[in-house]
Amino acid sequence: MKEITVLTHRRPDDISAALRTLAERAAAAGAVLRLDPEETRKHALKPAPGLELNAEIKRDADLCVVLGGDGTILRALQSYAGTEVPVFAINYGQIGFLATVEPADLEDGIRRALEGDFELLKLPAIMVELPGGRHIAINDVAIHRKVGERVAELSYSLDHEEAGSVRCDGLVVATPAGSTGYNLANGGPVMAWGVAGFVVSFIAPHSMTARALVVAPGDRLTIRNRSPEALDVAVDGRPVGEIAGGASIAAWFIDDQATLAQLPGSSFYKRLRERFGRLAS
């Protein structure tokens, strides 16, 4: 590994020691850590061997190392969507479902990252088309009513065939990787990594019959806002726009959009047991 992008979460004090260790090990290995202007400012970094500061995100870096939780990991996966750059994440978040290693394994994790001692997992995404343009969601697209507004009425169709209409607070379209997030909180099904397709689930539906739906990968989803009020749209937790009253948006599955590093022997089911078993203990 010669050029490594580094992204960190919003609490720099929590990871300052880990960042120093990463910088020392990278310099010893002859690798350069690239930190963008935000990361440089956040950590008050000064020029040093092996550091390239105030560097813009380079789309052909050898690796992206994340020190943070799932939100930061998603930001990294978004930054490198459509490339072959793997994201190697050291978990400094609450759950870290997408993380490669835990902080207790920092030294070994850094060694593996620098040596390329990891496997690659390709992740699919959801493409959503809004009036202002297209956005890629690695985890999910969330549509929800604005604070203080009335309950939304949403209809949805698949390949021009209407599948239902629901009064609810919103709707979530999730990838398999994102199915353990907002979708799971809605009571939607967990989809194992490797499943081709996506899931549609509802936020606080005002119906006893509204059920989550797993959609085939080739089916195009159209969501119509039947409410007079506009609804907010977020991609991977970030606001990206809105659906005006009476308007529609489209979403569809796209395969192999991001690359996640994982250790040999790791599996989706092991992650599921360890991460959510931890919450239950």
Domain ranges in the chain are 3-118+263-280, 125-256
159 is catalytic: no
Domain 3-118+263-280: give its CATH superfamily.
Answer: Probable inorganic polyphosphate/atp-NAD kinase; domain 1 (3.40.50.10330)
Q: Which residue in this structure is represented by tokens 């994102």?
A: 178
User: What's the longest Cα–Cα distance across the chain?
Assistant: 61
Span 170-175, average pLDDT: 96
Backbone angles phi, psi at 75, to 5 degrees: -60, -40
Q: Is the dihedral of CA 205, 183, 6, 259 positive or negative?
A: negative
Are 143 and 205 within 8 A, CB to CB? no
pLDDT band at 278 (very low <50, low <70, confident <90, very high): low
Average pLDDT, the chain: 93
Q: Which of 60, 62, 70, 219 is catalytic?
A: 70
Closest CA to 90 of 80, 98, 102, 76: 102
Kindly state the percentage of the chain with pLDDT values over 90: 83
Q: How far apart are CA 180 and CA 191, in angstroms?
A: 8
Q: For residue range 193-217, what is the model confidence (pLDDT) as tens digits?
A: 989 999 999 999 998 888 899 999 9
Q: Determine the Cα–Cα distance for residues 14 and 10; give it in Å rounded to an integer.
A: 9
134: helix, strand or coil = strand
Tally of CB atoms within 10 A around 187 = 12
pTM over the 0.85 mark: yes
Q: Looking at residues 174-184, what average pLDDT do you find?
A: 94
Q: What is the CATH number of domain 125-256?
A: 2.60.200.30
Q: So what's the pLDDT on residue 83?
A: 95
What are the DSSP E strand ranges found in the chain?
Answer: 3-8, 32-34, 51-52, 63-68, 86-91, 119-130, 133-137, 140-145, 152-158, 161-168, 170-174, 198-203, 213-215, 221-225, 231-235, 238-243, 248-262
Cβ-proximal residues to 146 (8 Å cutoff; 6+ apart), any chain: 229, 230, 231, 232
- State the pLDDT at residue 208: 81
What stretch of H or E contains 26?
helix 12-28
Rounded to 5 degrees, what are φ and ψ at 83? -115, 180
pLDDT in tens, 260-277: 999 988 888 888 888 776
pLDDT range class, residue 279, cuts 50, 70, 90: very low
